[in-house]
Structure 1
């Protein structure tokens, strides 16, 4: 029983919400000719992964540095991997290219270090999108700030990214998470754009979903230890309502969906994108799916089943997906599943 009004409201918010039919305000997402996703930060770096026609790996020769103890006077450092996520998204349409930064990783230096080792100038990006406010997706802003061309960059985010959050695991002292500062971002010159609703960027060819409809019966969000500050106390924050994804429609191929953690649920996110755009076909799903750990492992079978039915051509689960989900997806979707790794480029074209 939910005896208090706040508890009842929380229970209601956690329940799946029906979203029948087409969207009331459908998004006319303009098709693109090509999209390239470069994973700047992921939990894994494997220098022995091989490239193919749609995937280019950084390889073992990335990041040459001076090293006097070697005969050649140098060695290779490879890419930095950490528990975080960051990606560059470049869309090409009608001969024009635009590059956005989607999330920034956990630490100050990993993203900018990997960009330098890949020969990528972060001063060329034209905007920043934050999937949500957790620090393993926003920490790299400290390294990005002050770089050439970064000041006055538009930054699209959900207004709840500023939410104070903590993990209160029974039997342990609660651990408050780092909270992103609006004041600090303003001081660095970022042009912060807060939106709960969907946003269309790059001449209508990139969709930021805004809040995602929770329509499945199995994607319930974060467990009770994940809490948010309400202004008067701490309460369970299952939904992480600031979670949003980036969506592109590749001409004649279908939707490419990029997630940060996928707190809204991978299937919820894909179905939400399909409903908003009216595009049924899922071409690719890339990013964190948050299926790791005991609280989320029961969600793996229905998630894999739903994604199998969607039949994407490419699935690159990264970051917080977890090894059990990786194995399940690799076994069920062997032709689509690709191992993620820091420094990898994914090229998808019409």
Structure 2
């Protein structure tokens, strides 16, 4: 591979990330993604570009009306969580055609073997891969395009998306090598925080998911204060008191999950939480966690409900964000076409 490829440090610092509008935002989405998006926006050290990746959502079939509503609800969730459309670019993916156009170039750069090694492809396609959509297989090339069409230097990702970001880096390196250029950055992952992977309230070994048949397994960002408190009160735990050190959470997945959630909501380290809470039984800790969760999350659910009463305003925000996004993406795509050898009008 070309040793002269550009690293992220040689580009304008820019963050890109997206969430699928497949319905049902959870506490996992908030702590694992949205809260960190807000923090990066407010730090002001990077340009921040955040996207509802509706093109990714349709790699499995979506009801059109539900997809439209989920996209607007996700936008409402971004804003309610603290994303300011005046500080960040906020849009839905399908309004910026450059994503799909660059994805085709990357389909021709990426190798089939790369795609077939993706854990998410294996999990979602399962044993019936011949009936899975081509889009599901090519998902990582579109994700690479999402990131690189903005020359994004950093991407906040959960552990489950780290493999896809590694493929994005591979695509950038191969493109640069194949065409003898230093054009695409080698994007850096940002994986940090106590609750980058929030687990089920009913089974600490499984990720909190909107697809879990048990609503008690998750806190939805649309849950009201009473519902949040009830779910935490009924969360699965073990009979032992909280330890005073993190090593005491080994082999205690439910305890670790609740401590991680508290740490993330309180913006403290796990060690700091355990120094304060060590020795408490869950009968004492759960009400404390519940009060904190309600304090942090109930205002978000209330604001989401208010925003959803005016879908036209949400659509206006998304349209404006798409226009801003295209101002960055269009010249990068045009240069890509020039590098590849395609004729395009000025």
- Higher strand proportion (structure 1 or 2): 1
TM (normalized to structure 1)? Answer: 0.29
**Which has the greater radius of gyration?**
2
- Higher helix proportion (structure 1 or 2): 2
